[in-house]
Amino acid sequence: MLNTSRVARCRFAALSCVRTAPRLNRLMQPDKNTFCSTPFRELYTENDGSFIHCCHAVDTESVRFFENSVKDSQGTVFNVDTVKDLDSVWNSEFYKTLRQDLIQGVQNPLCKHCWRLEAMGAESPRDSSPFKDLDLVLDSDYTVTSGPEFVDLKTGNTCNLKCIMCHPANSSLHLEEVQELRHTGETVPSAVAVSHKEETNMRKQIPLDFLLNNLDHDLKNLKEIQLHGGEPLVTKKALEFIDNLIAKGHSKQIKVRVITNLAVCSTEIFHKLEQFQSVELIVSWDHVNPKKNSFIRYPINHARFLETFDYVRKNHSFDIKISNTLSVFNILDIEEIYDHFEALSQDQALAVTTNIVQAPSYFNSQYLSQSLKRKICDRMPRWLEQNLEYKIFRTGNCFSVLSGIPNFVSYQPSDTDQILKEQEKVLAVYDKKRGTNSQELFHFLFV
Ligand code: SF4
């Protein structure tokens, strides 16, 4: 996947400037069309213990996990189990080549997720504004001398939900379901049909100590940890990790961000989180209609979710953000959903981050019928225009992502007929297995 001649060039450059590598020429402006600050500041892990450069590193077309992991110059994947020091990952040729490409205007294939969205005129998560001290921390061989400021820690795939667009790599319940389907000889939906090797990787118990052990050297500039699952607020290992950070006195210096479905029974964890410098909760919430939300985020108890959401907002001074993921199941209800989020933001600030499902293809809204897509293209700009004053549009990315939706849905994939047939079959499999009724909730998918 990497351009090997570029790797060779970069390795030569690295050898020639050991210790005395000059800083990047201050006059050199990163190319706005490709630059992204993520690989200059952030390090991510996966549930198999490998490292990735970004949470969007999974190939949205093949939906193969663990394929874009950070590798050493021999092509061996770095793993938290065996890595000697984090700098060997952070300033590996893999990272340096990616940084060089993003600065020099090359669309590195590792960032295919963003290039695809941008080619369709949709908003991508790429952060193209160079950060303030970029030229102070970046050497001419694309080493970032300061270490990552942000680490995303995958705490395993243990999860209490199996959201319909999720994957066994991120949900143990999905993995169990796949095994049950196989056992009974039923068709496993293609996007979750994991190989034996992937399954073994998903079951690995990943130690989180590498982060604690590096806080005094390679991670001395760490400002923020993001906990990701599965569901980190119910994962034993994640809870132990939180306890360790508190016990060792690190929590007061670190901001923690938790990606959560908030389907938790105990509120004790929220009191523990108070021990951190600051807390951001990114709460996944896809629909305001209880039945539709439970179908998408299966099998969430929507009423209990609302109680917990309300409890946390009233009792803790956390920065709470909603993460809303748009798919065929909710894109036609954007007005209803975002009007509700806006109503919630009246008493207390609330940011909304919007994500768009690209994979599984059969839940990607580009595969809706032409008439439904036309409806979205007609309604969306009008509704946005009428509600420009919404508070939720002033923060988060929701306004820009929603503005790009007409462009996104207008794209007509060439495999539409095949994917729609698959969608019908997949929904039948899930309805039978989960006891849901997709026809009743989403009749427009069946006309
Ligand atoms: S360009 Fe996109 S995929 Fe690449 S690091 Fe940035 S956000 Fe991630």
pLDDT digits (tens, 9 = 90+) for 276-289: 999 999 999 999 99
CA of 385 relative to ligand 1 center, distance in Å:
29
How far apart CA 98 and CA 108 sit, in angstroms, is 7
Ligand 1 midpoint to CA 116 (Å): 11
Which atom of ligand 1 is nearest to 55's Cα? 8
Residue 216 has pLDDT above 80, yes or no: yes
Residue-level pLDDT at 18:
36
What is the atom index within ligand 1 of the atom nearest the CA of 124?
2
Pocket test for ligand 1, best of 106, 108, 111 (most atoms within 8 A of CB): 111
135 CA distance to ligand 1 middle (Å)? 20
Q: What is the pLDDT of residue 24?
A: 57
Kindly report the protein residue whose alpha carbon is nearest to atom 8 of ligand 1. Answer: 54
Mutate to test the pocket of ligand 1, among 31, 37, 38 (most ligand atoms within 8 A of CB): 38
Chain segment 28-67, per-residue pLDDT in tens: 689 999 999 999 999 999 888 899 999 888 766 665 666 7
In the block, which residue shows the tokens 């007929």?
417
CA dist 426 and 361 (Å) reads 11
Average pLDDT estimate for 296-320: 97
State percent of the chain over pLDDT 90: 74
Which residues form ligand 1's pocket by a CB distance below 6 Å? 36, 38-39, 53-54, 56, 111, 113-114, 124-126
User: How do residues 89-98 score in pLDDT, each as one tens digit?
Assistant: 999 999 999 9
What distance in angstroms lies between residue 127's CA and the mean position of ligand 1's atoms? 8
Q: Which residues fall within 8 angstroms of residue 178, CB to CB, at 6 or more apart?
A: 168, 188, 192, 193, 194
* Confidence band for 68, pLDDT divided at 50, 70 and 90: confident
Name the residue at shortest CA distance from atom 7 of ligand 1: 126
Q: Is the pLDDT score of 230 beyond 70? A: yes
Q: What is the pLDDT of residue 313?
A: 96
Task: Report DSSP letters for 143-212, one per residue.
Answer: -BTT--SEEEEE--S--S---TT--TTT-HHHHHHHHHHHHTTPPPPGGG---HHHHHHHT-----HHHH
In single-letter form, the type of residue at position 80 comes to: V
Mutate to test the pocket of ligand 1, among 108, 113, 150 (most ligand atoms within 8 A of CB): 113
Average pLDDT over all residues of the chain? 90
| pLDDT-derived band at 218, boundaries 50, 70, 90 | confident
Residue 10's pLDDT is what? Answer: 32
**Ligand 1 atom closest to Cα of 37?**
6
37 CA distance to ligand 1 middle (Å): 8
Report in angstroms the alpha-carbon separations of 127 from 54, 110, 353: 12, 15, 14
Nearest CA to ligand 1 atom 1: 126
Residue range 243-278, pLDDT digits in tens = 999 999 999 999 999 999 999 878 899 999 999 999
**Residues 148 and 42: beta-carbon distance below 8 Å:** yes
Could you tell me the distance, in angstroms and rounded to a whole number, from the CA of residue 99 to the centre of ligand 1?
A: 11
Distance from the alpha carbon of residue 126 to the mean position of ligand 1, in angstroms: 5
Atom of ligand 1 nearest to the CA of 108: 4
Q: In testing the pocket of ligand 1, which one of 32, 33, 36 has its CB within 8 Å of the most ligand atoms? A: 36
Q: What is the pLDDT of residues 351-383, one digit of tens each?
A: 999 999 988 999 999 999 999 999 999 999 999
Tens digit of each residue's pLDDT (9 = 90 or more) over 377-404: 999 999 999 999 999 999 999 999 999 9
pLDDT of residue 47: 86
Closest C-alpha residue for ligand 1 atom 4: 111
Which one is predicted more confidently, 22 or 251?
A: 251
Residue 85: predicted pLDDT: 87
Take atom 6 of ligand 1 and give the residue whose Cα is closest: 126
